[in-house]
Chains A and B, each alone.
Chain A
Amino acid sequence: MTASFGSVALTLAFLAMLFAVVAALVGRKGDERWVLASRRAVYGACGLLTLCVVLIEIAFAGDDFSLNIVQQHSSIETPNFYKLAAMWSSQEGSLLLWAWVLSIASSLALYATRSKLREIVPYATAVMAGVASFFTGLMLFAGGVNPFASLDPVPADGIGLNPLLQHPSMMIHPPMLYSGYVAFTIPFAFAIGALITRRIDASWIRATRRFALIAWALLGFGLLLGARWSYTELGWGGYWAWDPVENAALMPWLIGTAFLHSIMVQEKRGMLKVWNACLIVATFSLALLGTFLVRSGVLQSIHAFGDSTVGPYILGLIAVVLIGSTALIVSRLDDLRSEKRIDSLASREAVFVVNNLLLVALCATIFWGTFFPLISELFTGTKSSLAAPWFDRYTTPLAIGLVLFTGIGPLLAWRRVSWATAKRVFFVPSIVAAVVGVALALFTDATHKPWAFVLFVFAAFALVGLGQEFWRGTAARRSLKGGSMATALVAIVSRNRRRYGGYIVHIGIAVLLIGIAASSSFQTNRDVVLRPGESAAVDGRTITYRRPTAEVDPEKFTFGAEAVVRQGGTTTILHPSRRFYRPTGVRSGTIANRFDGEATSEVALQAGVFRDFWMAVQPDITAVLGRVRAADQGFRACVRGAPGTPPQCRAVSRLMQAAAANPALRPVAARQIETLQAATAERIAKSYLADSAPATFRVIVNPLVAWMWVGGLIALAGALIGLWPSRGRGGRPLVADSELEALKEAKYREIRDAELDHAAGKLSDEDFALLDAELRNEAVEILDSADGNPEKIPQS
């Protein structure tokens, strides 16, 4: 029932998206009815895909094992939370998620632009609906990936979800990454529309900037969650491994970062148009590449998702996107000429260009390293891969450069900065950075790792510079309007959300990089083998293996340790352990098969402001395994009724014989055996406590790693502030409802920005007077053209 209903909904969604493509193209010359029809078709498809997702979720919640997807990824015993999230741990569910999120994003984008960008919108609709119909069509026609594939006869139970994936951050991480990938479709689609119609001013950027920022924030948050999961769950203690699939998600994020910066230059100065078009095409292609890599098995990756049927299709889409966009950009080169040139190398736009080059270089390096196995196979015939040290060597200097520019960029004003002004704004940050450098060199061993040392100094510069921005902005506001520091601070941030939201993101990134540099350069990582009662010294701490712990339940054995960590006067007790599961989907069987499934480390983590103490244990269970095998053999003998078995066994074998003759007795016999097995397993688990077997402890002391997560969250908060719509004064709508309105808004913002820069001391009086006059002239021009001829809008 669900299956046929869902298949119909999915097919209709596919047809609606196809119709949207056709209708948008028919209406491209300004036939409003067709454009309206295409927009409504996208809304409709969004509704239908929402229905599909709801149907699948209902099936998961209600244990409807007639659906293949539910049977394969859930079971009656799967916790409810994971039932709802199990959809995207499947191939078909993840494709549905892609299509669904894209339909939502497209609908939002089309609603926001319903009375704007009349020329661009039809083409953008065609691109968005085209991509959506591609993914919907993939589910319907690629074979084996239809989420509504059904099973007949209906199984009684499902296989269940792999215990390694049963972790909250693992459930949020995939949809975050997907939403990030998907949301980049929107700016891409509008860029294509702008290129086709040759309307290459900043209007497409203004319409889609928010989507790019949302995509960037979601992708970044997804990456952070993945790193966190790896750190706390995977038992190796690292958060980044330069694995192809990790890199695949990082690359669009880096280029997306570059794009978010360089579009500001186009918005304000009408420059870098070719560059922006290339960046968004690259970002979108890299997002598709990420989707592809996960599913293709082309590269060796710890995220082994195996070969699947959809890989070649996605590769085909990437090829179409790349070739089509390149041809389009080349054919529009004349229209893409900059309206202005960079006035001075000491200006914000020049710094943005440098930051863009660094980000692109970083991405290119990672791209080369990620695809090196394929490249080397091409040239030398053998697949060779590059390990983490290679990536570290090249990315570190680039990251250090970026930290410096997160500090320099915000200190410079647009257009030009005079020498005297530069001296004024750089003075305090440089002095503080120098003091920090000297202090680090004198009182810590930071200079042993020169790269990390340089990064700390640059990060100090950036943080002080950004702090100074907030300070001067607040002071300027107070001198105008009075009030307390706090109210002035809130006022400037809420009135200039884009600017200060961006600065907060910069603060977050600088803090995050401090965390990464400190934890990767100054980490202590030791493996110690201890028997119960023994101690070892690690990095000034005494670690004592006080006693082993053991537990058993129907699905797993848990062997762990109670360890005492002493440092100075403080004593902490930690309980790391390791769990051994039955294979996913198997709920009974021998005692030994609890060791055939996944084994997961339960890490003991003592997080701190200055350092994390991380501990995992690898118990030696050789003796336990021997006992388990012997017990299983005993059971088999028992069930067969071999001679010389103990009395309780005789009862079981008699029961088994009776059950062989009488099927009604079988459940009773099975229950009896299960009870006995459970008791035996319990005894064996307890026997581990008396073994005093050695256990291997992995101990990691990770300085400042907590700041990595804190920095990430600060950056996310900054992005949210930057996204939040500014409340229009005097009942102005939240989103400018016409292109002209948007243009006016942008110009007013530029004037406000210049005033703020002047008040904060970043613009000298002369420069400000010049700039202000220029901007006001431009604003008057816009207003004039609006009065005279509402249809004609000047190119900003």
Chain B
Amino acid sequence: MLVDPQRKRKIRLVVALGVAVFLAAALVYTSFSASTEAKEPSQLLSAAPGTSYDLTGKVVPGSIRHHGQELNFRVADRDGGSESIPVSYSGTVPDPFRGGREIVLTGEVEHGTFIGERDTLVTKCPSKFTTTNDS
């Protein structure tokens, strides 16, 4: 019954480390399957339908149209490529949303249009932590 305390500590350490390693592995494993790929519009034009993506890019200024509950706009690459993808979205629109802002939206491509999931639209905050004067 009497276990050498040194040995007991070692066993305890090994068990604790084992549990930690197991949990970490589970975390790593699930994070790869739970994540959604981020794509820019130019990459999405050739994306597989039926797969969920995070669309990231800039809202094309002047492209925003309201159709009842639905919001339609186009999103272009962040560094300002000429290609853009039409987006259809319903759900809440964050306050900072407007033309020219960067957004992230989760959804799928259907017939060339990106259909956003409800309430997944994220718009970047308008802060001025830039050194250029274009903010």
Contact = CB atoms under 8 A, between A and B. Distances in A.
B34 A390 contact: yes
A399 interface: no
Given A300-B104, A384-B38, A369 B130 contact: no
Contacts of B27: 365, 368, 394
A745 to B, nearest CB: 34
Given A384-B37, A390-B34, A306 B56 contact: no
Contact of B36 (A236, A365, A385, A601): A385
A369 B31 contact: yes
A89 B128 contact: yes
Given A294-B129, A598-B96, A696-B69, A302 B35 contact: no
B63 interface: no
A426 B110 CA distance: 59
Interface string A86-119: 0001110010000000000000000000000000
Contacts of A295: 129
Interface in A126-182: 143-145, 162, 164-165
B66 A622 contact: yes
B92 A368 contact: no
B95 A91 contact: no
User: Which bucket holds chain A's interface residue count?
Assistant: 35 or more
Contacts of A527: 91-92
Interface string A178-190: 0000000000000
A606 interface: no
Interface in A60-103: 72-73, 89-91, 94
Nearest to B122: A302
Given A376-B32, A384-B37, A307 B130 contact: yes
Interface in B100-135: 102, 104, 106, 119-120, 122-133, 135
Nearest to B61: A596
Contacts, number: 135
Given A164-B95, A164-B96, A598-B95, A308 B23 contact: no
A90 B69 CA distance: 37
Contacts of B96: 164, 598
B18 interface: no
B130 A305 contact: yes
A162 to B, nearest CB: 5
A234 B94 contact: yes
B124 A162 contact: no
A373 interface: yes
Interface in B59-99: 66, 68-69, 91-99
A463 to B, nearest CB: 29
B129 A91 contact: yes
A236 B130 CA distance: 26
A600 B27 CA distance: 38
Contacts of B130: 91, 305-308
Contacts of B46: none
Given A382-B37, A387-B36, A601-B95, A368 B31 contact: yes
B95 A600 contact: yes
A796 interface: no
Given A72-B133, A303-B124, A305-B130, A372 B31 contact: yes
A162 B133 contact: no
A422 interface: no
Contacts of A305: 127-130
A256 interface: no
Interface in B1-54: 20, 23-24, 27-28, 30-32, 34-38, 54
Contacts of A380: 32
A306 B135 contact: yes
A369 B68 CA distance: 36
B78 to A, nearest CB: 10
A27 B130 CA distance: 41
A604 B104 CA distance: 27
A222 interface: no
B34 A73 contact: no
B120 to A, nearest CB: 8
Interface in A346-394: 361, 364-365, 368-369, 372-373, 376, 380, 382-387, 389-390, 393-394
A162 B129 CA distance: 13
Contacts of A622: 66
A270 interface: no
A620 interface: yes
Contacts of A234: 94-95
B44 to A, nearest CB: 12
Contacts of B119: 236
A618 interface: yes
Given A300-B56, A372-B35, A387-B106, A309 B131 contact: yes
Given A376-B32, A385-B54, A386-B34, A90 B94 contact: no
A599 interface: yes
A235 interface: yes
A726 interface: no
B69 A529 contact: yes
A680 interface: no
B131 A384 contact: no
A304 interface: yes
A234 B129 CA distance: 20
Nearest first, the 7 closest Cβ-Cβ pairs linking A and B are A304-B124, A305-B129, A144-B131, A384-B35, A306-B130, A383-B38, A384-B37
17 contacts: A73-B128, A89-B128, A143-B131, A162-B128, A164-B126, A165-B126, A233-B95, A236-B119, A306-B135, A308-B130, A383-B38, A384-B32, A385-B35, A389-B34, A529-B69, A598-B98, A696-B69
